[in-house]
Structure 1
Amino acid sequence: MFQNLTGWHALIILGVILLIFGAAKLPALARSVGQSMRILKTEARTVESEAAQSVDAVAPRTVASEARADT
């Protein structure tokens, strides 16, 4: 998709972004994107660790425990 992008294309895209957002708003925009990415990573790690803990908490049933439950 981006194989045909050259340096000139990148400069044109950068110029359009500067025109749309303005030079004063770009640092705030970059800061908010970085903060959003940080929050997303933290939440993903939390969900992953909670899923791992719930899998560890549920012990798999063995044949011996099923036999004891039947008697």
Structure 2
Amino acid sequence: MNVFGIGLPELAVIAAIGLLVFGPKRLPELGKTLGRTLKGFQSASREFEQEFRRAVDSVEAEVASADTSTAELTSAELPSADLPSSELARADASPAEHSPAAGAEPGSTAPAS
């Protein structure tokens, strides 16, 4: 038996000292009080651990959801993936040819001079 790093011989010495200090009448009462206190600490510790585990599980679920969303986005097929490289080069160049010149008014097709 090892409670808080205290073995059976140490516990017997502590009990003997307690018996001498508090006497045989008060020792059972102190034992009950100590037992209730330890039980309260254990239940508070258990409750804290459960709450901590719930919080960690919640964060892990959010991270897993984010990883899944990221994987879905990166694995999604892009429309340009099926085009030959010559068409990709033409598609990259075409927006520059059709974009309005800098300084041109919206709606006008004449180049700015």
| TM-score with structure 1 setting the length | 0.63
Q: Matched residue pairs, number? A: 59
What amino acid is the match of 1:62? D
Residue 61 of structure 2 is aligned to residue 45 of structure 1: no
| Partner in structure 1 of residue 70 of structure 2 | 65
Deviations 1:6-58 (A, max 9, x none): xxxx57x71x4322101110011100111011101101110110001111112
- 1:16-55 aligned at under 5 Å gives the runs 16-55=17-56
- Report the Cα distance in structure 1 between the residues aligned to 2:20 and 2:68, rounded to whole angstroms: 69
Indicate the percent of aligned positions where both proteins have the same amino acid. Answer: 25
Larger Rg: 2
Q: CA deviation at 1:66?
A: 8.5
Q: CA deviation at 1:62?
A: 1.4
Higher relative contact order (CA 8 A, sep 6+): 1
Q: What are structure 1's unaligned runs of at least 5 residues? A: none
- Report the Cα distance in structure 1 between the residues aligned to 2:70 and 2:36, rounded to whole angstroms: 49
The ranges of structure 1 where at least 4 consecutive aligned residues each deviate by more than 6 angstroms after the TM superposition are none
| TM-score with structure 2 setting the length | 0.42
